[in-house]
Amino acid sequence: MTRVAITGIGVVAPGAIGIDAFANFLDRGETSIGDVDRFDTAGLRAHAAALVRDFSAKEFIAPMKLRRMNTLSRFGVAAARLAMSDRGSALPSASGVAMGTAFGPVQTSVEYMQEYVEKGAALAPPQLFAESVANAPGSHVGIEFDLRGFNVTVTQRESSALAALMYAASQIAKGTVPAVIAGGVEEVNEIVFSVLDRLGALGECSRPFDRRRNGMVMGEGAAALTLDAAAKDHAYAFASGFGIGRDASATISDWGEGADAVAATMRAAIDDAEVSLEDIDAIYASANSTLRADRLEYRAIQSLFSPVPPVVATKGYFGEYAAGGALPLVAAVLALRDQKLHASVGFREPDSEMRFTPTAEKSDRRLRHVLVNSISAGGGIVCAVLSREAP
């Protein structure tokens, strides 16, 4: 695939607002996970999440516009504005928007239905309905920054943001648009949290790949990346290859046993980037602290790589779904920029069949190509290769 330049990054994340703060947060090797205080978790098994704190939407959005946006849209527009500022200039008006979200604005949908039931269809607020759809954040981004190319929202659970990036990069490579703002958004809300808890998916802390893991922790926020057909004065890195696949053994709400499918998707991304297995200097893993997902991924990695390159598990920092799954991608971009691998927060003890150990601490390392994995419940698989330089 033609390598597409990543020229700007904006982050609204648990633990950090802005790319510099996010880089420092990763360097500290700390988790942003804590007790949920946004809604009552009494009676639930899980009580922890990675929540965005100290976010002031009015710093990024005009008051009249702010009133018409829900939390998810505010996250998305703020991250997009930060990415534009980081890029150094506005995107051309012919540029596109591609956003990912696992669940969309569920809380807004609930609020609209409550109004509908109490007041009837004639009096239910139409603005709430407009904000109840998954593509509301992407639409606001397009309107706010006058981006008149395509406007696409991907909902593919944990893989939403990486799938959106894949679509965006493919359209730039084809010449459809000169640039794209791509990324993901997510919020922690009571409905989704409660459902995941009842499914037994949530745990009290995030321990990716660890033998003691017992469930994921929800995270929220937004991340946006500006992609350009040609690098400007600088580029963080380049999106150079993608693979997409499906694990047919997965159920609708869980991961399967299809390690071969995951390995094939990783191989497809590497082949698309026109590099070899030996050229992959690190893997930023999908591991989210669930029993089946982590086992599926480490089996796939072990079957494809010999020896296994360094593996970084980032979801101990900010949980699962955070920014629609975009934050591990941002972490991998920063690794290439800084030539530094991050620690895998939460990992202490490997499974007996696991033949590699995720990074224990941050370390300087020469990085040319990094593989980023995203494996979603239900069987979706998206993998990407990021490269430090253009070919």
Same domain, 122 and 257: no
Residue 181 vs residues 6, 57, 165: alpha-carbon distances, Å: 10, 19, 9
**What's the CA gap between 42 and 156, in Å, rounded?**
30
139 part of a folded domain: yes
The total of structural domains in the chain comes to: 2
**Which domain-ending residue is among 228, 251, 272?**
228
Shared domain for 202 and 262, answered yes or no, is no
Q: Which of 228, 252, 277 is the last residue of a domain?
A: 228
pLDDT tens, residue by residue, 63-75? 999 989 999 999 9
**Residue 32 domain flag:** yes
**Does 195 share its domain with 308?**
no
> Is 186 within a domain?
yes
303 domain residue, yes or no: yes
The per-residue pLDDT for 313 is 98
Q: Out of 174, 207, 228, pick the residue that ends a domain.
A: 228
In a domain, 233, yes or no: no
My answer on whether 42 and 111 are in the same domain is yes
Contact 384, 242 (CB under 8 A): yes
State whether 54 and 109 are in the same domain: yes
Q: Are 131 and 69 in contact (CB under 8 A)?
A: yes
Q: Tell me the C-alpha distance between 79 and 130, whole Å.
A: 21
Asked if the structure places residue 203 within a domain, the reply is yes
Residue 233's pLDDT is 66
Q: Which domain holds residue 352?
A: 238-387
Phi, then psi, of 43 in degrees rounded to 5? 90, -5
pLDDT attached to residue 324: 85
Q: How far apart are CA 368 and CA 339, in angstroms?
A: 9
Q: What is the pLDDT of residue 230?
A: 79
Regions of the chain short of the pLDDT cut 50 = none
Specify whether 291 is located in the same domain as 318.
Answer: yes
* Same domain for 246 and 223: no
Same domain, yes or no, for 215 and 267? Answer: no
Give yes or no: residues 159 and 202 share one domain: yes
Rounded Cα gap, residues 48 and 205, in angstroms: 7
DSSP letter at 343? P
Q: At what angle do helices 106-119 and 190-198 cross, to 10 degrees?
A: 110
User: Is 344 among the domain residues?
Assistant: yes
Look at residue 249 in the predicted model and tell me its pLDDT: 97
Same domain? For 352 and 305 the reply is: yes
Token pair belonging to 70: 């829900």
Whichever domain contains 143, its CATH number is: 3.40.47.10
Q: Are residues 282 and 352 in the same domain?
A: yes
* 369 close to 279: Cβ distance less than 8 angstroms: yes
> Does the residue 352 lie in any domain?
yes
What residue spans of the chain are helical by DSSP H?
19-28, 63-66, 71-87, 106-119, 126-130, 136-144, 160-174, 190-198, 259-272, 291-304, 315-318, 327-338
The Cβ of residue 365 has, within 10 Å, a number of other Cβ atoms equal to 15
Model pLDDT, residue 120: 85
Do residues 223 and 256 share a domain? no
